A and B are shown apart, each in its own frame.
Chain A
Amino acid sequence: SYVLTQPPSVSLAPGKTARITCGENNIGSKSVHWYQQKPGQAPVLVIYYDSDRPSGIPERFSGSNSGNTATLTISRVEAGDEADYYCQVWDSSSDHVVFGGGTTLTVL
């Protein structure tokens, strides 16, 4: 089955650039979506179709997808960006949605 691998945690200082990866064989051939989830809240879509940004999401959030890795990049990280981040794809070989295990972003 399709498994999306994310690092459990990423920690960095404010103002730095966070890169959260989502890995699987040939993920570059799929459309990847990213969600931000803060404690006690529903997930929020931050990037869709690899690199598109919904209205209301800061330009500091960007995405890329190539080869075996998709990446969510958050520039100039702020304390308010602390959250869990999940990647998501549709696995057409088995007709189901797959979420990554999630990455906790900590702003030191």
Chain B
Amino acid sequence: QLQLQESGPGLVKPSETLSLTCSVSGGSISSRSYYWGWIRQPPGKGLEWIGSIYDSGSTYYNPSLKSRVTLSVDTSKNQFSLKVSSVTAADTAVYYCARHGTHLHGQFQYWGQGTLVTVSS
């Protein structure tokens, strides 16, 4: 069974960069051609897609976040990562990593448990 686990600081100061890593176990991140994604959920609100990355490194971002977001993948460590720069309180959310489909119109079938990131001084 594929498992995903987010890791990173739970508290980030305003204007700094939020960095999270998703570790994948139970399968290789590059064994099949899947996209891997990040989704966030502000407290009490709905789901917001941040972006998705292919195992080759090609990326797709939410247009509303594109200028501040960078996704990367490290197949040697079976991990993929998220960076959000110049964070504000509006970036406070539970951040989820998930396996996207083999196509961009596919589903998010496997999810991490989520990690709460609070932006505060």
Residues in chain A within 8 A of chain B (CB atoms): 1, 30-31, 33, 35, 37, 42-45, 48-49, 54, 84, 86, 88-90, 92, 94-102
Q: Which residues of A contact B108 (CB under 8 A)?
A: 33, 35, 43, 45, 88
Instruction: Knowing A96-B49, A96-B60, A97-B37, say if A48 contacts B112 (CB, 8 Å).
Output: no
Partner of A90, one of B46, B105, B113: B105
| A43–B47 touching, CB < 8 Å | yes
Q: Which of B46-100 contact A (CB under 8 A)?
A: 46-49, 52, 60-63, 96
Contact among B106, B107, B113 with A42 in the assembled complex (CB-CB below 8 Å): B113
A91 to B87, alpha carbons, bound, how many Å?
26
18 contacts between A and B (CB under 8 A): A30-B105, A37-B47, A43-B47, A44-B111, A49-B107, A88-B108, A90-B104, A92-B104, A95-B60, A95-B104, A96-B49, A96-B60, A96-B61, A97-B49, A97-B52, A99-B47, A100-B46, A102-B46
**B111–A42 contact, CB under 8 A?**
yes
Q: How far is the CA of A54 from the CA of B96 in the complex (A)?
A: 20
Q: Mark B38-50, 1 if CB is under 8 A from A, else 0.
A: 0100000011110
Interface residues of chain B, those whose CB is within 8 Å of chain A, are 37, 39, 46-49, 52, 60-63, 96, 104-109, 111-114
Q: Which residues of A contact B112 (CB under 8 A)?
A: 42
- Chain B residues contacting A100 (CB-CB under 8 Å) are 46
Q: Is the CB of A42 within 8 A of B96?
A: yes
By beta carbon, the residue of chain B nearest A100 is B46
- Chain A hits for B61, CB < 8 A: 96
Known: A42-B114, A94-B63. A99 touches B48 (CB 8 A): yes
Check if A99 sits within 8 Å of B111, measured CB to CB: no
Shortest Cβ distance from A49 into B: residue: B107
- State the 3 A-B residue pairs at the shortest beta-carbon distance, nearest first: A97-B49, A90-B105, A48-B107
Q: Which of B37, B49, B52, B114 contacts A98 (CB 8 A)?
A: B49
Expressed in whole angstroms, the Cα–Cα distance for A108 and B63 within the complex equals: 39
